Amino acid sequence: MNHPSTCRVGTVEKRPAGRYAPSPSGDLHLGNLRTALLAWMFARTTDRAFMMRVEDLDRVRPGSEQRQLDDLAKVGIEWDSPVMRQSQRLPHYDAVINDLRERGLTYECFCTRREILEAPSAPHAAAGAYPGTCRDLSASARQAKIDAGRPPAIRLRCDRDEFTVVDTVQGPYTGAIDDFVLRRGDGVVAYNLAVVIDDDAQGVDQVVRGDDLLSSAPRQSYLADLLGLPAVTYAHVPLVLNTDGKRLAKRDGAVTLEDLARTGVDAQQVLSLIAESLGLGGPGERISAQTMLGRFDPQTLPKHPWRIEPAELC
């Protein structure tokens, strides 16, 4: 892989970076840890910094942030300071939304989720795409909805319906984009806006995450292009699934470090299992994160999800 040169973000030079950005809504499970290790290895083997970001705009569970950071450290991941927290960056998001509004690129949307699902869509629109109901509301119609007590979301006024990104794992991917939400009706900034602004602020030019988020990459790349921000390199990696083929979750049983520790499986054993799933360790081999890093080759990564039965780990 190419090793990046130093880039400039705003007026400050930053070393190009990868990142991991968990939401502190609960403890990390095996799938989260595996993706975090991959993001770390992608960054470190390409001479990038590795940044940590806490995406705490929504669904925060007290104590989760520290437990997540502790668990990442237990499996050998280290990161560059400081840790960014989205809850401390609200003025930055507001400034970007205001700039887009001044450019005529936003509008207020009063639709509920149910109304969007029930509204007729254009024949060429992707399933679930916003149909543009509020795009051209008159000033009087908007005021009537506000007077009726409907707080508006802020949507981006897009000028195209698809965008293409190139992913180092998945290859070229063209996905649908619509007039997506920048700020929800309850005032919370939307993920698609925050992630673009934060990646730029942290110097992130390499985004490694689960392939369930691939469909969001075109929206984010389009927004970055609209804002004049550098494009990022994507690598969407396969998930960890349960035996039913569904994304692993805490309800599947002992899937967090704390749960597994109670059954006698320590963090080092978990790391070895993850290494084996990635072809970076042999069955039963006790391995460190640094050893995994030395063996890492993105070209040999498995292309399919890792299916596990949590009970078999104990």
The annotation places the binding site for L-glutamate at 19-23, 55, 191, 209
| Residue partners of 253: CB distance under 8 A and separation at least 6 | 259, 310, 311
The burial class, CB within 10 Å (0-12 / 13-18 / 19+), for 15 is middle
Binding residue positions for Zn(2+): 109, 111, 130, 134
Q: What are phi and psi of 16, to 5 degrees?
A: -55, 145
Supply the DSSP string of 40-93, one letter for each residue.
HHHHHTTT-EEEEEE--SS---TTHHHHHHHHHHHTT---EEEEEEGGG-HHHH
Instruction: Please list the alpha-helical segments (H only) found in the chain.
Output: 30-44, 64-74, 90-102, 113-118, 139-147, 191-201, 217-226, 257-262, 267-277, 289-295
- Enumerate the known binding-site residues for ATP: 250
**Binding site listing:** 19-23, 55, 109, 111, 130, 134, 191, 209, 250
Q: How far apart are CA 165 and CA 214, in angstroms?
A: 9
87-122: burial string, b at 16+ Cβ within 10 Å, e else: eebeebbeebbeebeeeebbbbbbbeeeeeeeeebe
Distances (CA, A) of 88 to 58, 92, 128, 203, 224: 13, 9, 32, 18, 21
What tokens does 286 get?
Answer: 């006790």
For strand 106-109 and strand 153-156, is the pairing parallel, antiparallel, or unpaired? antiparallel
- Say how far apart CA 84 and CA 96 lie, in whole Å: 18
* Cα–Cα dist 148/150, whole Å: 6
Asked if 35 and 42 touch (Cβ cutoff 8 Å), the reply is no
- 266: DSSP letter: -
- Strand, helix or coil at 253? coil
